[in-house]
Structure formats: C-alpha cells, structure tokens
Amino acid sequence: MKSLFSEKKYILIAIGLLWLFHISGIVGISLGFQDWFASRTALNLWIMFIVLILFYPLTSYKKWLFFLLFGAVGILAEYLGVTFGLFFGEYAYGSNFGPKIFEVPVLIGVNWAMLTFICGAVANKLADHIFLKSLLGTFMMLFLDLFMEKVAPIFDFWEFTGGYAPVDNYIAWGIISFIFHLIFHLAKIKGQFLISLNLYLVQLVFFVYFYVYL
C-alpha cells in the first residue's frame, strides 16, 4: 500500500511549509525581530527533522541506525572540539540551538546526520560513482558551512575565538563529511530527492541572505 506521505501533493505541501518558515524568518529578522526568530532556531530544526522522518522517509532500521550513528559521531567530534579545541578550532556554542550535552547541543548531532542524509540523496541523483557522490555531498555541506560560519555568532548559534572560523574548521568538516558520505553510499541508503533538495536549499537561501545583508 502506498504511504500517505509518498503522495506528491503532500510532499509539495511539506516543501511549501519549509519555505514559508524560512522566508518568514528572513522577513521577520530583516524587520528587526532577530531575537525572537533566532531563539526559535531549535523549533525550526525539529520541524525540518519531522519533515525528514515523514517524507524522506526514515522508515527502516537501517536508516535509523546510520542516522543515529552519524548524529552520535557528530556530537562526539563537536564535544572534542568544544572541550579540547580539536578538529575545528577554539569555539563555544550559544543558547539558540536548544539543550546541550557536555556543552554541545543535541540538535548539532541531528544536523550532522540530517545534512548527510539530504546531501547524500541529492548526490545519488546527480552522480553514479560512490567516490563522486561522496565528494559532491561533502562539497554541498562545506558550501553551506561557509555561509553559516559568518551568521552563526550573530544569531548566538556558536562563535570561534577570534571571531572567525579557522582553516582547520573547514578541513575537519570536509574530512568528517566525506567519511559520513562514503558510509552513506556504501550502505546504499536512498531518500526522496525533492524533499532532500528543498531541505538543503531553504537553509542555503537563509544563510546566504544573511551572509550578504548582515
């Protein structure tokens, strides 16, 4: 039986809601309500996660296993970064990413896993060779991070000592992302392309906008 959430009209509604939330954030912050919208970042990420669960969809033990694996390793890497300055440089998380475990927001783990899954699904559509897919997914994550790093301190997401992300941050992001994507594609995980593309694009448009205008 065909899942309700695999029907195109529901996928389009979900995509519309994603854009509505992010465009509302852009407009609201631009009009001076930055604190109100930034403080609801965690809620927005949970909504994106729910959309991923329903429409990707996360319906198998295998998908959940790898999602939890990427999330846990992501949190571990961030813990080592925040606590010991490893991998990414000296930085600390602010208050707008929700509850923390050892000074690392739980949603950072969700974000690592979610980005791997959606960039992996897009790469699956655009390339055939596992190595090329992994490179493409890694590039997508790094490209997004370039814009996030400037905006993050302004919205109290995280901030590096000295006010900017060092080269080490991007190298570590690239290496970890590439490993995640290799595992993702070796495991032959599949996901809904249109949902994945829009989950990526709404974030990219949001952060590019504020990278330019803030």
Per-residue pLDDT of the chain (214 residues; tens, 9 = 90+): 345 566 788 999 999 999 999 999 999 999 989 888 888 888 999 999 999 999 999 999 999 999 999 999 999 999 999 999 999 999 999 998 889 998 999 999 999 999 999 999 999 999 999 999 999 999 999 999 999 999 999 999 999 998 889 999 999 999 999 999 999 999 999 999 999 999 999 999 999 999 998 7
Q: What's the mean pLDDT when you consider all of the chain?
A: 93
Domain that holds residue 193: 4-213
Q: Does a cis peptide bond (omega within 30 degrees of 0) precede residue 57?
A: yes
Count: domains in the chain: 1
CA distances from 123 to 49, 64, 74, 209 (A): 19, 20, 20, 24
pTM as predicted: 0.94
